[in-house]
């Protein structure tokens, strides 16, 4: 049985600018005593206040989502998906790292003006009442016993990648490519000695181009012993319309994998990288988890 997802009432405990593009907001509240942490790249929904209206009409309870969808547009609070950067259950504190990009969306507008004490709502899994109620569907990183890992993503994936890196076993081996807007946006993060972390600054270049080039260069060095036999791909990604279809696949693993790749960020870039690793390099598609976090020119529904 899956864990119950619910609305948690929280407030802002701290707002910390990290770099020109990243802001960390620490949320707190007694309700977080019932929040369940499910994984290293855990996603939650932020429920943003409506100016002058707050959360007056936000439904609660187990059927909150259906009730929320039924609300008139004027009183339906915007939802946006974010990654938990860290959760400290004893302190009832949860950190979210935001990419600050001006007045271009409800989340960016909110974080640009939020202050300590401001109210917010989040949606996530509640602590299960029994071991049978396992949280699922909100965390994807699952390398199993892979010999080598590849992590790649843009700034929207940077918080998840940093959380993953800090929790890896000290014996982990792999490469990490994180694309950020500028050189000043590199974030401090601790990684195992065997994991090379490369921060790739766009500095005005087109989104995804420099990261794609570096992942391609890495892939060209992958030796035959760590590549499995290519298998048939049930979906030809060249035909996937990232503006209309969800680009998201988390393959289950039932055997050790020589390489495990986790790719997240802008959907068009993610699609190209995944296709290159599977079609071009020969990685089995069961070795590649890929997630389109956002799409150019499209707001989250």
150-172 pLDDT, tens digit each = 999 999 999 999 999 999 999 99
Q: Domain range holding 86?
A: 5-125
- Judge if 114 and 172 occupy the same domain: no
- Judge if 103 and 164 occupy the same domain: no
Domain C-terminal end among 110, 125, 140: 125
Burial 101-133 (b: 16+ CB within 10 A, else e): eeeeebbbebbeebeeeeebbbbbbbeeeeeeb
Burial class (CB in 10 A: 0-12, 13-18, 19+), 220: exposed
- Judge if 116 and 152 occupy the same domain: no
Domain C-terminal end among 92, 125, 158: 125
- Judge if 161 and 250 occupy the same domain: yes
In 9-130, alpha helices (H): 64-69, 106-113
- Judge if 163 and 253 occupy the same domain: yes
Kindly give the confidence (pLDDT) of every residue in the chain, 301 residues in length, as a single tens digit, with 9 standing for 90 and above: 455 889 999 999 999 999 999 999 999 999 999 999 888 999 999 999 998 889 999 998 878 999 999 999 999 999 999 999 999 999 999 999 999 877 778 999 999 999 999 999 999 999 876 655 655 557 889 898 888 999 999 999 999 999 999 999 999 999 999 999 999 999 999 999 999 999 999 999 999 999 999 999 999 887 444 444 444 444 444 454 434 444 567 777 666 678 999 999 999 999 999 999 988 888 888 889 999 998 875 555 5
- 246: tokens are 């969800």
Residues 6+ apart with CB under 8 A from 127: 3, 34, 35, 36
Over residues 194-209, the pLDDT tens digits come to 999 999 999 999 999 9
Measured CA to CA, the distance from residue 174 to residue 210 in angstroms comes to 19
Burial class (CB in 10 A: 0-12, 13-18, 19+), 69: exposed
- Judge if 152 and 121 occupy the same domain: no
- Judge if 268 and 192 occupy the same domain: yes
Q: Position of tokens 């039932």? A: 254
Is residue 278 in some structural domain?
yes
- Judge if 167 and 120 occupy the same domain: no
| Number of domains into which the chain is organized | 2
Nearest to 260 by CA among 178, 172, 197, 196: 172
- Judge if 27 and 83 occupy the same domain: yes
- Judge if 158 and 290 occupy the same domain: yes
Is residue 131 in some structural domain?
no
Domain C-terminal end among 93, 125, 157: 125
Is residue 132 in some structural domain?
no
CATH number for the domain harbouring residue 110: 2.40.30.10
Residue 268, CA distances (Å) to 90, 209, 249 in order: 40, 11, 14
CATH number for the domain harbouring residue 274: 3.40.50.80
Measured CA to CA, the distance from residue 237 to residue 133 in angstroms comes to 35
- Judge if 154 and 288 occupy the same domain: yes
Q: Cα–Cα–Cα angle for 134, 138, 139, nearest 5°?
A: 95
- 186: tokens are 């590199």
- Judge if 176 and 244 occupy the same domain: yes
């Amino acid at each position: 049985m899956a864990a119950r997802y619910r609305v948690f009432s929280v407030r802002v405990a701290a707002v910390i600018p990290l770099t020109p593009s990243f802001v960390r907001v620490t949320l707190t509240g007694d309700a977080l005593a019932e929040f369940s942490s499910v994984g290293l790249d855990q996603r939650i929904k932020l429920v943003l206040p409506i100016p002058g209206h707050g959360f007056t009409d936000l439904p609660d309870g187990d059927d909150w989502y259906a009730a929320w969808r039924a609300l008139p547009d004027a009183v339906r609070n915007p939802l946006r998906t974010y990654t938990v950067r860290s959760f400290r259950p004893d302190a009832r504190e949860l950190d979210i790292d935001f990419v600050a990009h001006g007045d271009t969306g409800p989340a960016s507008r909110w974080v640009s003006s939020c202050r300590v004490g401001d109210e917010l709502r989040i949606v996530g899994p509640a602590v299960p009442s029994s071991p049978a109620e396992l949280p699922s569907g909100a965390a994807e990183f699952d390398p199993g016993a892979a010999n080598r890992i590849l992590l790649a993503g843009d700034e929207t994936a940077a918080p998840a990648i940093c959380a993953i890196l800090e929790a890896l076993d000290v014996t982990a081996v792999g490469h990490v490519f994180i694309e950020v807007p500028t050189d000043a946006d590199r974030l401090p993060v601790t990684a195992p000695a065997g994991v090379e972390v490369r921060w790739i600054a766009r500095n005005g270049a087109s989104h995804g181009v420099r990261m794609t080039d570096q992942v391609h260069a890495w892939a060209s060095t992958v030796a035959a012993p760590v590549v499995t036999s290519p298998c048939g791909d049930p979906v030809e990604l060249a035909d996937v319309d990232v503006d209309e279809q969800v680009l998201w696949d988390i393959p289950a693993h039932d055997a050790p994998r020589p390489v495990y790749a986790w790719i997240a960020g802008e959907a068009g870039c993610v699609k190209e990288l995944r296709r290159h690793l599977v079609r071009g390099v020969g990685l089995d598609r069961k070795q590649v988890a890929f997630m389109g976090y956002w799409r150019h020119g499209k707001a989250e529904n």
